[in-house]
Chains A and B, each alone.
Chain A
């Protein structure tokens, strides 16, 4: 299902305010943004400018304090926690800077996790996991634990895990932040391929090279989108 005008997620003047003991902090201010199917967007900006907060709101793990957020035609504010979880499970993939693979599970089992939660039968999810690990170039490492993988390999497993339930939107928060340049380049190429295969991609990054691969580059400052470049 796609929202109005073929948009996956649409943010209309969303603001996120964090109440703090010293006074409220406005992390995201009046941001309006639409992500279309197959788009590749990079969000750049200095630390603390609200990039990750915006990404979390687009991914429905955080709710705006004001403004409207619509995901594939559904108003996020009207959904309860269970419905949001289900939406994330089936339609959104997340890639984190620190991978967050479960160390007691093998690479294949990590990729199977979201599928198991979605109720995919065991045989089908095993097949899909191996297929995804082949896709990210780790078919031979399916039975390895995260501790037996390099940083780049762990991030590729994390990408495979994020793709497990065939999401239409993949969100990545500093996906190359913990990787050296060469490894980061491999991960960036993989993300390009994921996008080329039809998954919309929103990446938060400090890395100009990674941002340079995106079709749209948004620059944020003090919670606002200060500039947008289409490439």
Chain B
């Protein structure tokens, strides 16, 4: 194999501009292909990472809808107690979210307000501390900047709740910290407080309502979900895996479809590019190939030479395509994340080794397929007729 590879290399360097164009073409196409592969799984992987990072591996809802999107759990304290008593469960945190207007002096901002029961916070404190006391509140960076407040400041909160009075009175909250909340989106304010304080703000203390229950299992999430389903058949329990599966079936299929279509087009383009380059190159050398065959080179050998040329072009271009693709993915990710409603911690393009392996496999297949036609030309080359034609031409 080394002799055909060396021979193919010499053949490529014989035509530097054409070979360079081929390699650059493959690098560009390979970069796009890699990006399509990263895009096809990016949001799913990013979502998975985000869910895992929160520390809960089971989510319990009142319906089959995704957490926070369906009916609320009424009588949440009873459900929390029943689920927390299960041996497969380590901790249960009820979570409820409502809309709220936050105001400080003459500034105000519309915010999502999370009410979290239990002790495990779902946010990361950037400055200050968790909301430990009555009517403490953490806000995200955007809310802090918009209101011009820092930990220790007092803000007025007017909640707009799905349960309780339609227009509860405004309530004063003390900002205990500035935090990064899960599913925060850029230029969107969010805040979080203890669940009891959210219920106070909604004018319905002790309402006992939660959008969903976040559960930490004792180690086996699937077993915990089954146990919860058995203990409370009126509720639905999803592990992170099941949740990701549902998201894959619904929201993110578009990205996979788009990336599949674009990846296919990209590969077809690479295929045509290399086939044309190799075919032109082989057609220009038919006389030489026929002469080599006359001198005793086997059919297998001249075919292998063409395959090696294809492998070298695609291999070199493929290697260059990886850093190019990663750089392009970062740039595209920045652009796509400007879309409204995209959480800051979510990414459209997520690098994973499996995608790189798949990318290499697809490029190898491209090299092989692209070489098929020129290989056929040299394999079926009539030696005598070609030598005769070369002299006549």
Contacts and interface: CB of A to CB of B under 8 A. Distances in A.
A binds B: yes
A230 interface: no
B379 to A, nearest CB: 10
Nearest to A97: B391
A94 B298 contact: no
A88 B295 contact: yes
Nearest to A61: B383
A85 B299 contact: yes
A85 B296 contact: yes
Interface string B261-301: 00000000000000000000000000110111111111111
Given A96-B291, A98-B287, A102-B288, A61 B297 contact: no
Nearest to B291: A100
Interface residues of B, number: 25
Interface residues of A, number: 36
B295 A114 contact: yes
A207 to B, nearest CB: 15
Interface string B7-34: 0001101100000000000000000000
Interface of A: 52-53, 56, 59, 61-62, 81-82, 85-90, 92-94, 96-98, 100, 102-105, 113-114, 116-118, 161-162, 165, 173-174, 177
Closest 10 CB pairs of A and B: A89-B296, A100-B291, A62-B384, A104-B14, A56-B384, A88-B296, A61-B383, A85-B298, A104-B10, A94-B294
B167 interface: no
A96 B288 CA distance: 11
Contacts of B49: none
Interface in B372-389: 383-384, 387-388
Interface string B295-317: 11111110000000000000000
A90 B14 contact: no
B10 A105 contact: yes
A94 B291 contact: yes
B391 A174 contact: yes
B3 interface: yes
